[in-house]
Chain A
Amino acid sequence: MRVGLLVTCLNDALFPDAGKAVVTLLRRLGVDVDFPPGQTCCGQPMVNTGYLDEAVPAVRATVEAFAGYDAVVVPSGSCAGSVRHQHGIVARRAGDPGLAVLADRTYELSEFLVDVLGVTDVGASFPHRVTYHPTCHSLRMLGVGDRPRRLLEQVRGLTLLDLPAAEECCGFGGTFAVKNADTSVSMGSDKVRHVLGTGAEYLVAGDSSCLMHLGGLLRRQRAGVRTAHLAEILAAT
Chain B
Amino acid sequence: MSTFLGTPPFPQAARTALADPQLRQNLAHATHTIRDKRARVVAEVEDWEALRQAGAAIKDHTLAHLPDYLEQLEAALTAAGAVVHWARDAAEANAVVAAVAKAHDVDEVVKVKSMVTQEIGLNEALAAEGIAAWETDLAELIVQLGDDLPSHILVPAIHRNRAEIRRIFADRMAAAGRPAPDDLTDEPAELAAAARLHLREKFLRAKVGVSGANFAVAESGTLVVVESEGNGRMCLTLPEVLVSVVGIEKVVPSFADLDVLLRLLPRSSTGERMNPYTSMWSGVRSGDGPQEVHVVLLDNGRTNALADDVGRTALRCIRCSACLNACPVYERVGGHAYGSVYPGPIGAILNPLMRGVGTDPQVDSLPYASSLCGRCEEVCPVAIPIPEILVDLRAQVVDAHRGSVTPKPEAIAMKGAAKAFGSGRRLGLSERLTGLALGLARRLPLVSAWTGTRDLPPAPRQSFREWWRDDRP
Contact = CB atoms under 8 A, between A and B. Distances in A.
Given A9-B427, A46-B417, A50-B391, A140 B450 contact: no
Interface stretch (A99-107, A114-122, A193-201, A213-221): A213-221
Interface string A47-76: 111111111111011000100000000000
A57 B419 contact: yes
B467 A20 contact: yes
Given A46-B418, A54-B418, A11 B464 contact: yes
A181 B467 contact: no
A31 interface: no
B285 interface: no
A174 interface: yes
Contact of B421 (A37, A40, A89, A168): A40
A174 to B, nearest CB: 7
B415 A54 contact: yes
Nearest to A45: B417
Contacts of B44: none
Interface string A1-32: 00000010101111111011001000000000
Contacts of B18: 182-183, 186
B369 interface: yes
From B15, B387, B452, B463, residue with most partner A Cβ within 10 Å: B463
Given A50-B395, A183-B333, A37 B14 contact: no
Nearest to A11: B464
Nearest to B390: A48
Contacts of A40: 420-424, 427
Contacts of B424: 36-40, 61, 65
Given A43-B421, A65-B424, A19 B394 contact: no
A181 B449 contact: yes
A158 interface: no
A236 interface: no
B346 to A, nearest CB: 17
Nearest to B365: A179
Interface stretch (B141-149, B224-232, B249-257, B370-378): B370-378
Interface string B418-449: 11111111011001001000000000001101
B459 interface: yes
A171 B328 contact: yes
A168 B328 contact: yes
A47 B392 CA distance: 9
A222 to B, nearest CB: 10
B323 to A, nearest CB: 13
B368 A217 contact: no
Contacts of A14: 434, 457, 459-460
Contacts of B371: 136, 169, 171-174, 176, 184, 187
A77 B371 CA distance: 14
B450 A217 contact: no
B463 A220 contact: no
A203 to B, nearest CB: 14
A9 B427 CA distance: 9
From A14, A35, A50, A140, residue with most partner B Cβ within 10 Å: A50
Interface in A163-192: 167-169, 171-188
A36 B434 CA distance: 21
Contact of A19 (B391, B418, B464): B464
B72 to A, nearest CB: 34
B126 to A, nearest CB: 36
Contacts of B463: 12-13, 16
A179 B417 contact: no
Contacts of B394: 48-50
B69 interface: no
Given A40-B422, A43-B421, A57-B418, A179 B368 contact: yes
Nearest to A27: B473
A89 B309 CA distance: 13
B456 interface: yes
A36 B421 CA distance: 14
Interface string B30-48: 0000000000000000000
Interface size class of chain A, counting residues whose CB lies under 8 Å from the partner chain:
35 or more
A216 B456 contact: yes
B373 A136 contact: yes
Nearest to B434: A13
A205 interface: no
Given A13-B463, A136-B374, A182-B14, A47 B391 contact: yes
A195 B276 CA distance: 41
Given A179-B368, A216-B454, A140 B418 contact: no
From B328, B367, B418, B434, residue with most partner A Cβ within 10 Å: B328
From A7, A36, A46, residue with most partner B Cβ within 10 Å: A46
A185 B454 contact: yes
Contacts of A175: 368, 410
B179 interface: no
A220 B454 contact: yes
Interface string A129-162: 0000000110111000000000000000000000
B460 A16 contact: yes
Contacts of A213: 454
Contact of B372 (A39, A139, A176, A182): A176
Nearest to B367: A50
A83 interface: no
B464 A16 contact: yes
From B367, B392, B450, residue with most partner A Cβ within 10 Å: B450
Contact of B418 (A37, A55, A89): A55
Given A140-B373, A219-B455, A220-B455, A37 B465 contact: yes
B457 A215 contact: yes
B204 interface: no
8 contacts: A37-B424, A56-B418, A137-B372, A178-B447, A183-B329, A185-B454, A187-B329, A215-B457
CB-based closest 4 A-B pairs = A173-B371, A216-B454, A50-B394, A169-B373
Given A23-B472, A40-B424, A178-B450, 12 more contacts: A7-B465, A16-B460, A40-B421, A40-B427, A45-B417, A46-B414, A65-B424, A174-B371, A176-B372, A183-B14, A188-B454, A215-B457
Interface of A: 7, 9, 11-17, 19-20, 23, 35-41, 43, 45-58, 60-61, 65, 85-86, 89, 93, 136-137, 139-141, 167-169, 171-188, 212-213, 215-217, 219-220
